[in-house]
Amino acid sequence: MARYLVERTFPDGLAIPADDQGAKVTRDVVGGNAQHGVTWVHSYVNPDRTATYCIYDGPSPEAIREAATTNGLPVDRITEVSVLDPYFYH
Amino acid sequence: MELLEREPLLASLRGFHADAVGGAGRLVFVAGEAGIGKSALVDAFCAGLPADTPVHRGFCDSLDTPRALGPLHDIARTCPPELGRLLAGGCDRHALFTAFLDAIAADGSVTVVEDAHWADAATLDLLLFVGRRIGTFAATVVVTYRAEEAGGDHALRRVLGDLATVRAVRRLVVPPLSEAAVHDLAGRHGRDGALLHAVTGGNAFFVTEVLDAPGHDVPGTVRDAVSARISRLGSGARVVLDGVSLVPDGADGALLEAVLAVDSAGLDEAVRAGILVLDGPVVRFRHELARRVVEADVPAARATELHGRITALLATVEGVDPARLSFHADAAGDTAAVLRYAPAAGRQATELGAHREAAAHFARAARHAERAAPVEVRARLWEQRADACENSYWTFSAAAGPDDLADAVAASERAAVLWAEAGDVERRAVVTARGAHRLWNAGRRADAEVAAGVAVALLDSLPPGAGTAQGYTALARLRMLARDMPGAVALGSVAIAHAEEHGDRSSLALALGIVGNAQWLTAPDRAAELLIRSLDVARDADDELAVAAALGNLGAGAGMIRDYAAADRWLAATVAWCAERDLDALLGFARAWQARSAFEQARWSEAGTAATEVIGRYADHPPSRTVALTVLGRLRTRRGDPDSQSPLRLALELAERTGDLQRCWPVAAGLAEAAWLAGTPELIAGLVGDTYAVAVENRHPWAAGELGLWLHMAGGAVDRSAVVARPWAAQLAGDATGAARTWQELGCLYEAALARSASDDRDELLVALHELQALGAWPAAEIAARRLRELGVRHLPRRPRQATLDNPAQLTERQVDVLELLADGLRNVDIAARLHISPKTVDHHVSAILAKLGVGSRQEAARWHGERPTRT
């Protein structure tokens, strides 16, 4: 199990409404990920919503990609990462 | 006796059975230590079934070499006669196993197989077969086994492990009786519950034995308990017990009367006492533990005498399994009888695929033959044992063991010495030749070459015969393993000629396969032709393994020369054939090659899935694993995904262990590519140099080509006289466009783009960038982008949109634009003007579009577009 940073590009801008429909979209993504043993931790989005940087836990990069295909999401780049937090050192 | 504390287990069994009746069949393994009450549980379950439920029972026997498919023989008696006929008629195993499933698939039937820890290899294969398929049949199969006897390396453990993820297979564990239950039982007999529980540990059998004894003594062990119970019986009953204890699978009426001089009063007494039970016409011990205790106490001389009488009687009965006869004859010390029945048992076991048991039967016969038989008989038995050990090793069945190959080698050597003594040159030659091949597989290469030399000299001195065909085939196989292709072709061709002349189909199929495989790189059409002939001969001879091998070799060979259409066809056929017949090793190999074929055609998602599957499922099969790990490593390298080094390093380790160029060169290429993409080309010479030299020496055009190019790109020296495949040659000569075109024709889209990216031409580089981005190959794309910036190109195109479900041909966004204009009838120059790009770029896009759509002309592409629009 490793943590990955997944970069995605949405040329038309990613739009997830802040209502029931949006909640359903994210629930479906979580369900789709589960089929591949992949967990979506959280994501960072740029202001015009054309790029996202998603933190994922999963068994392999291939599982991340398969989950993305199941959910109809693009994958530009995958990098393995671990957390570095300034507050650890206090 | 009433069953305590078994309600939850019974409820589970009833639940599983209900599933099965509803159409979702179940295979239930019931585990528990000896005497814990597994059989009692299963009996209670069966007793509670509706009266019209068909119930079949089979027993794995505790003969030291169990009967091949013993339980199936038992079950066949209560099934339609078709199954029994197939069993007796010696048909192929796949048909037999399928017939068994069909026979028990009558609505809601229950089949019980007892004591699977004693199962022979063929029965274990049957359990695997059933477990994988029962989910769609309306049948319940319950299999009991002793967990303590099936630990670690035990073959049953492999079956359990293999079936662990199959939904239709379930496990129940029968626990000991709790203290409370033991107290309850003890209380009813006025006995001390705490002491009873302390001594018996809750073992149901032990508890019953103790409670049935009078008085308040509690025996210390099961043995004592059983002995105590027996000592209370009359001498007539004891005689019966002694006799029946010597027949592990139960004694029928004829045996009891004629041999054991059974007096019916004694028998009744034993049955009433609950020690023996009547199971139809057969008398057996209620519990195996009791049988063991009684058997151990029968005086040796009496046992020998009784076994002798049993042998004599069984010999007059028709249809008795030779394994049983062989067992009794051995116990009676009757060498002549052993020599009559053990070889027959061995042959029968071989036919049913119980190779481990076959090897044991032949060993037993050989042991007896030492003192009594002529040298030819002894030689033949050792030869048969060697063959059985080797078959056990190759079939990768659940029961194959690590020592099988070493045993095969030892038995071959023994046989060769004996045939020499007997003066039979042909047999000596065949055994020595096969021994040489086995020595090579066991890693003793120097010894293998010596033996091969001896064998060849002997074979050349003989006139052609069936034996010489076998001998030359074994030697040809050895030459192939040693990578001596011309040698393999020469010896293999002689083998073919001899095999054809003498109608030896199995040698013929094998030899054709060898000569075919040896020529993929020099004469691929001839290779395919020979392998197809091998396939036909194998089908004709109903040899399912040989068919699988031929199909797999056709697939891997076509893949090796990058004929992907043929490779994909053959590999799909191999996978289908092997899946139906549980030929796991070859299935894994074919799946690994499917991963490689998909990878090389840039179908990366498919490749990733297949490679991951093989690595997970076929961890025990190094050849498959090596190919799959190499694909995974190269895939991650090209995509820039994390951890490409671990799979490549592991693959390298596995490949170097075999020393096989076929396994080594793709890993070396992968490591070189990774070094290049990481910007560390100085590492390439060290990674690739040695393997490159071997590739050139072996005249492998694809290996020498790819490795040579990486060496060249890293600034190293390349052998200009080496034979190199066309696209690699073009790249080495600096013809990026020509190379790209050839790669595109082959279907290798990444190689095409990578070739283009070595060009200095801006338009070529732009196309390369575009294609690499579309493939998701960002490390290579970045290198192309960097070169473009160095050439002064400023505004690099944004990344193309990922292919979506609306875009089934995986055309990039730009290619979609071009296709739409093309379909409208515009010429390339007009398209270029419209899209503000150069005409040369449009040319490249058009050829890429034609390649992706798999069509030959603009008109066809336009027609495709008309029928299937690519934008919503």
Cβ pair B662, B518 in contact under 8 A? no
Highest mean pLDDT among B10-14, B148-152, B864-868: B10-14
The answer to whether B801 faces chain A, any CB pair under 8 Å, is yes
Instruction: Indicate which of B636, B802, B871 best probes the interface with A, i.e. most A CBs within 10 Å of its own CB.
Output: B802
Region of poorest pLDDT, from B214-218, B236-240, B816-820: B214-218
Residue B87, pLDDT above cutoff 50: yes
The answer to whether A50 faces chain B, any CB pair under 8 Å, is no
Dihedrals phi, psi of B274, to nearest 5 degrees: 85, 10
Cβ pair B427, B434 in contact under 8 A? no
Residue B215, pLDDT above cutoff 80: no
**Residue B38 placed within a domain:** yes
CA distance A90 to chain B (A): 31
Q: How far is CA A32 from CA A28, A67, A69, B384, in A?
A: 6, 6, 9, 55
How far apart are the C-alpha atoms of B655 and B387, rounded to whole Å?
A: 28
Class of domain A2-82: alpha beta
B460 burial (CB, 10 Å; 0-12 / 13-18 / 19+) is exposed
- Nearest 5°: the CA angle B477, B480, B483 is 155
Average pLDDT over residues B452-477: 91
Residue B819, pLDDT above cutoff 90: no
pLDDT of residue B724: 94
Residue B3, pLDDT above cutoff 80: no
Query: Length of chain A, please?
Result: 90
Residue B225, pLDDT above cutoff 90: no
> Which CATH number do you get for residue B130?
3.40.50.300
Query: Could B605 and A2 be called an inter-chain contact, meaning their C-beta atoms sit closer than 8 Å?
Result: no
Identify the closest residue of chain A to B606 by CA–CA distance.
A66
How far apart are the C-alpha atoms of B238 and B243, rounded to whole Å?
A: 9
Cβ pairs A/B, distance under 8 A: 43
Cβ pair B830, B785 in contact under 8 A? no
Residue B331: count other Cβ atoms within 10 Å of its Cβ: 18
Ordered DSSP codes for B245-290: HT-TT-EEHHHHHHTT---HHHHHHHHHTTSEEEETTEEEES-HHH
Would you place residue B292 in the very low, low, confident or very high pLDDT band (cuts 50, 70, 90)? confident
Residues of B in contact with A62 (CB under 8 A): 608-609, 611-612, 632, 635, 641
Query: Could B643 and A80 be called an inter-chain contact, meaning their C-beta atoms sit closer than 8 Å?
Result: yes
Residue with the larger pLDDT of the pair B260 and B476: B476
3-state secondary structure of B110: strand
Region of poorest pLDDT, from B9-13, B396-400, B852-856, B858-862: B396-400
Is the backbone of residue B734 left (phi > 0), alpha (psi -120 to 50) or beta? left
pLDDT of residue B806: 46
Q: Which domain holds residue B124?
A: 7-175
Residue B574: count other Cβ atoms within 10 Å of its Cβ: 28
Instruction: Indicate which of A52, A62, A65, A81 best probes the interface with B, i.e. most B CBs within 10 Å of its own CB.
Output: A62
Identify the closest residue of chain A to B801 by CA–CA distance.
A11
Residue B12: count other Cβ atoms within 10 Å of its Cβ: 15
B residues 587-606 near A, CB within 8 Å? 605
**pLDDT digit string, tens, across residues B14-54:** 999 999 998 899 999 999 988 888 999 999 999 999 988 99
- Tell me the two tokens of residue B684: 């390439």
Cβ pair B579, B129 in contact under 8 A? no
Dihedrals phi, psi of B56, to nearest 5 degrees: -115, 145
Cβ pair B714, B676 in contact under 8 A? yes
Cβ pair B475, B456 in contact under 8 A? yes
- Tell me the two tokens of residue B788: 């473009």
Residues of A in contact with B605 (CB under 8 A): 65-66, 69
**Residue B111 placed within a domain:** yes
**pLDDT digit string, tens, across residues A34-77:** 999 999 999 999 998 899 999 999 999 999 999 999 998 999 99
**Residue B607 placed within a domain:** no
Average pLDDT over residues B825-829: 86
Amino acid letter at B74?
Answer: D
3-state secondary structure of A41: strand
Average pLDDT over residues B765-774: 92
Residue B632, pLDDT above cutoff 60: yes
pLDDT of residue B72: 94
Residue B787: count other Cβ atoms within 10 Å of its Cβ: 18
pLDDT of residue B579: 92
Q: What share of chain B in percent tops pLDDT 70?
A: 95
Identify the closest residue of chain B to A2 by CA–CA distance.
B642
CA distance B549 to chain A (A): 30
Residue with the larger pLDDT of the pair B225 and B215: B225
Quote the ipTM score.
Answer: 0.90
Query: Could B636 and A69 be called an inter-chain contact, meaning their C-beta atoms sit closer than 8 Å?
Result: no
Residue B377, pLDDT above cutoff 70: yes
Residue B843, pLDDT above cutoff 50: yes
B807-825 per-residue burial string, b: 16 or more CB within 10 A, e: under 16: bebebbbbbbbbbbbbbee
Would you place residue B872 in the very low, low, confident or very high pLDDT band (cuts 50, 70, 90)? very low
**pLDDT digit string, tens, across residues B505-539:** 989 999 999 999 999 999 999 999 999 999 999 99
Instruction: Indicate which of A1, A7, A60, A73 best probes the interface with B, i.e. most B CBs within 10 Å of its own CB.
Output: A60
- Per the listing, tokens 């239930």 go with B28
The answer to whether A4 faces chain B, any CB pair under 8 Å, is yes
Identify the closest residue of chain A to B775 by CA–CA distance.
A76
Q: Give the DSSP H/E element, type plus range, for residue B769.
A: helix B762-775
Average pLDDT over residues B594-602: 97
CA distance A67 to chain B (A): 11
Region of poorest pLDDT, from A23-32, B87-96, B517-526, B669-678: B87-96
Residue B1, pLDDT above cutoff 70: no
**Residue B641 placed within a domain:** no
Query: Length of chain B, please?
Result: 872
- Tell me the two tokens of residue B173: 């564990």
Q: Which residues fall within 8 angstroms of residue A57, CB to CB, at 6 or more apart? A: A1, A2, A3, A4, A38, A39, A41
**pLDDT digit string, tens, across residues B422-442:** 999 999 999 999 999 999 888
Residues of A in contact with B798 (CB under 8 A): 11
**Residue B102 placed within a domain:** yes
The residue among B54, B57, B56 whose CA lies nearest residue B21 is B54
pLDDT of residue B609: 95
pLDDT of residue B870: 45
**Residue B429 placed within a domain:** no
The answer to whether B643 faces chain A, any CB pair under 8 Å, is yes
**pLDDT digit string, tens, across residues B47-77:** 999 988 999 999 998 888 889 999 999 999 8
Amino acid letter at B195?
Answer: L
Indicate the number of domains in chain B. 1
**pLDDT digit string, tens, across residues B90-122:** 778 888 999 999 989 876 799 999 999 999 999
Query: Could B608 and A2 be called an inter-chain contact, meaning their C-beta atoms sit closer than 8 Å?
Result: no
How far apart are the C-alpha atoms of B211 and B553, rounded to whole Å?
A: 65
Query: Could B642 and A11 be called an inter-chain contact, meaning their C-beta atoms sit closer than 8 Å?
Result: no
Query: Could B640 and A4 be called an inter-chain contact, meaning their C-beta atoms sit closer than 8 Å?
Result: no
**Residue B129 placed within a domain:** yes
- Distance, first Cα to last Cα, chain A: 28
Is the backbone of residue B800 left (phi > 0), alpha (psi -120 to 50) or beta? beta
- Answering whether pTM is above 0.90, one says no
Q: Give the DSSP H/E element, type plus range, for residue A9.
A: strand A2-9
How far apart are the C-alpha atoms of B636 and A68, rounded to whole Å?
A: 16
Mean pLDDT of chain B: 89
Would you place residue B805 in the very low, low, confident or very high pLDDT band (cuts 50, 70, 90)? very low
How far apart are the C-alpha atoms of A10 and A74, rounded to whole Å?
A: 8
Q: Which residues fall within 8 angstroms of residue B740, CB to CB, at 6 or more apart? A: B752, B753, B755, B756, B764
pLDDT of residue B810: 61
Residues of B in contact with A79 (CB under 8 A): 642
